[in-house]
C-alpha cells in the first residue's frame, strides 16, 4: 500500500507542458506568464489587483509593508496559524498580539478580538491579520465594523481558502481574498495548498495605492515611474535610467512557476468540489461518534478545506496508529505564542486557552483532490478502529 499524506499536489500532463513551453521561450523570469497569472487569479478571486511573488511569506511581508506597518505598531493575529502570519509583523518592526480562537470554528474569535480592543485605548492597535484557517472563511464583514471603529487595517491570510466564501448581510457571496472587506489578502502556492506553483504567493487588493507600492517593493524598491532625477543635468539620463526610491526586496516569482500556477488555476474549481466530497464523507463517517469532535459547519460559509481537522483525546495515539498504517496525518498548528521564539516576548501557557485546548487534540486527516475513495475508506477505517 502506498503511503497517504495529509496533503499533496496534483501535476497533470497539461501542467508539465505549460512549464516546458516557458522553458523553451525567451523569458525564465519576468515574462508574460506572470501578468497572465495575476490577471486570471484576480478574476478568479474577484479582486481588482493581484501581485504574484516568490512565496506566501513574501506576500505577507510585502502586504504588511504596503499597508504601512511601522516600528512599534501593534498588530493582532491568531495563535493557530503558520508562524509566517505573525512573523511578517516582526519583519516590519511591529509588535505581535494574539486573540484567542473560537473553539468551534478554530478561527480567530470576534469576541476575543473585541475584548482585547476594549481593554486598550482606541488607536492602540494598527491592524489585524485574520486567517481563514482550514479554509473556513472568517466573517470579514463583522470584523470590518470593529476595524473601522478602532482605525485598523485588515490583512487577510487566505492561504487555506482560495474559492472559499462567506455570505454577507446582503446575501452576497464574499470570496476569501476578494478584498471587499479586507485591505489586502495573501495566498500561497506551496505544493500542499490548493494551487501549486512550486514556491509562490499572491497578494490581492482593491486599493490602487497599495497595489502600486507592492509592484515597487517586489523588485528592490526600483521604479521607472515618477522619477526624481536629482542630477544637475537630468536630461542626460537616458533609456537605461531607473531609480531605487524605497528599500524593497527581490520577491519575484519566475515565469515558469507562473505558468504552472496558471495551469493549476484552471482546475481549481474541480479540486474544490472534490475537497467538498471528501469532507462530506468524513462528516458522514464521524459525526455520530462521541469521541471525535468535528469543526463546526455553517450554511453561511463555504469552507475551502485546505485541511480536514478532527479533535480526539488521545491525539498522539491516533497519530502513531495512522503512521503505523502508512497514513501520514499532521497537526496544524502548534500555537505560535508557544514557540520558543515567541515565548521570549513573554507569551506563555494559559494565555490562550481555546487555542491550547484545541492544540492538545487536533489532527489533520488526508485531504487533497487525488485522494481516492478507497484510500479515504481506508483512512476512515483506521481512525474508527483506533477510536
Binding to ligand PLP in span 105-134, by CB under 6 A: 131
Choice between 223 and 301, CB closer to ligand PLP = 301
Q: Which of 47, 77, 85, 174: binder of ligand PLP (CB under 6 A)?
A: 85
**Should residue 84 be labelled a site residue for ligand PLP when binding is judged by CB under 6 A?**
yes
Q: Which of 33, 150, 190, 275: binder of ligand PLP (CB under 6 A)?
A: 190
Binding string, residues 146-185; x marks residues near ligand PLP by CB under 6 A: -----------x-xx-------------------------
**Should residue 254 be labelled a site residue for ligand PLP when binding is judged by CB under 6 A?**
no
Give the closest residue to 332 by CA, choosing from 364, 303, 308.
364
d(CA 32, CA 47): 20
Interface region with ligand PLP, contact rule CB under 6 A, candidates 81-89, 220-228, 242-250, 345-353: 81-89
Choice between 196 and 292, CB closer to ligand PLP = 196
CB of 364 to ligand PLP, least distance (A): 12
Interface region with ligand PLP, contact rule CB under 6 A, candidates 54-62, 112-120, 240-248, 281-289: 54-62
**Should residue 262 be labelled a site residue for ligand PLP when binding is judged by CB under 6 A?**
no
Binding to ligand PLP in span 131-150, by CB under 6 A: 131
**Should residue 56 be labelled a site residue for ligand PLP when binding is judged by CB under 6 A?**
yes
Residues that bind ligand PLP (CB under 6 A): 55-57, 81-82, 84-85, 131, 157, 159-160, 188, 190, 201
Amino acid at each position: 500500500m502506498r503511503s497517504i499524506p495529509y496533503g499533496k499536489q496534483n501535476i497533470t500532463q497539461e501542467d508539465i507542458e505549460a512549464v516546458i513551453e516557458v522553458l523553451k521561450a525567451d523569458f525564465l523570469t519576468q515574462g508574460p506568464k506572470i501578468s497572465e497569472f495575476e490577471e486570471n487569479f484576480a478574476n478568479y478571486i474577484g479582486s481588482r489587483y493581484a501581485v504574484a511573488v516568490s512565496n506566501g511569506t513574501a506576500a505577507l511581508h510585502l502586504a504588511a509593508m504596503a499597508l504601512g506597518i511601522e516600528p512599534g505598531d501593534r498588530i493582532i493575529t491568531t495563535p493557530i496559524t503558520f508562524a509566517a502570519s505573525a512573523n511578517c509583523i516582526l519583519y516590519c518592526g511591529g509588535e505581535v498580539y494574539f486573540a484567542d480562537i473560537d473553539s468551534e470554528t478554530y478561527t480567530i474569535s470576534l469576541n476575543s478580538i473585541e475584548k482585547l480592543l476594549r481593554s486598550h485605548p482606541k488607536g492602540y492597535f494598527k491592524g489585524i491579520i485574520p486567517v481563514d484557517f482550514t479554509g473556513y472563511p472568517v466573517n470579514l464583514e463583522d470584523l470590518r465594523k470593529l476595524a473601522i471603529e478602532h482605525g485598523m487595517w485588515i490583512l487577510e491570510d487566505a492561504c487555506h481558502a482560495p474559492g472559499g466564501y462567506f455570505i454577507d448581510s446582503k446575501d452576497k457571496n464574499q470570496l476569501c481574498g476578494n478584498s471587499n472587506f479586507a485591505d489586502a489578502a495573501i495566498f500561497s502556492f506551496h505544493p500542499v495548498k490548493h494551487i501549486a506553483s512550486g514556491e509562490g504567493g499572491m497578494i490581492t487588493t482593491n486599493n490602487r495605492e497599495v497595489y502600486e507600492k507592492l509592484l515597487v517593493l517586489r523588485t528592490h524598491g526600483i521604479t521607472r515611474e515618477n522619477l526624481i532625477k536629482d542630477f544637475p543635468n537630468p536630461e542626460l539620463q537616458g533609456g537605461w535610467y531607473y531609480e531605487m526610491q524605497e528599500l524593497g526586496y527581490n520577491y519575484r516569482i519566475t515565469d515558469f512557476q507562473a505558468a504552472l500556477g496558471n495551469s493549476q488555476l484552471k482546475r481549481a474549481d474541480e479540486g474544490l468540489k472534490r475537497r467538498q466530497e471528501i469532507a462530506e464523507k468524513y462528516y458522514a463517517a464521524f459525526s455520530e461518534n462521541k469521541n471525535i469532535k468535528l469543526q463546526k459547519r455553517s450554511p453561511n460559509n463555504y469552507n475551502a478545506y485546505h485541511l480536514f481537522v478532527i479533535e480526539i483525546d488521545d491525539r498522539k495515539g491516533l497519530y502513531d496508529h495512522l503512521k503505523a498504517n502508512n497514513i501520514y496525518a499532521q497537526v496544524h498548528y502548534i500555537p505560535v505564542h508557544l514557540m520558543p521564539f515567541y515565548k521570549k516576548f513573554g507569551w506563555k501557557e494559559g494565555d490562550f486557552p481555546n487555542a491550547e485546548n484545541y492544540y492538545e487534540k487536533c489532527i489533520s486527516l488526508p485531504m487533497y483532490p487525488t485522494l481516492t475513495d478507497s484510500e479515504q475508506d481506508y483512512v476512515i477505517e483506521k481512525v474508527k478502529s483506533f477510536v
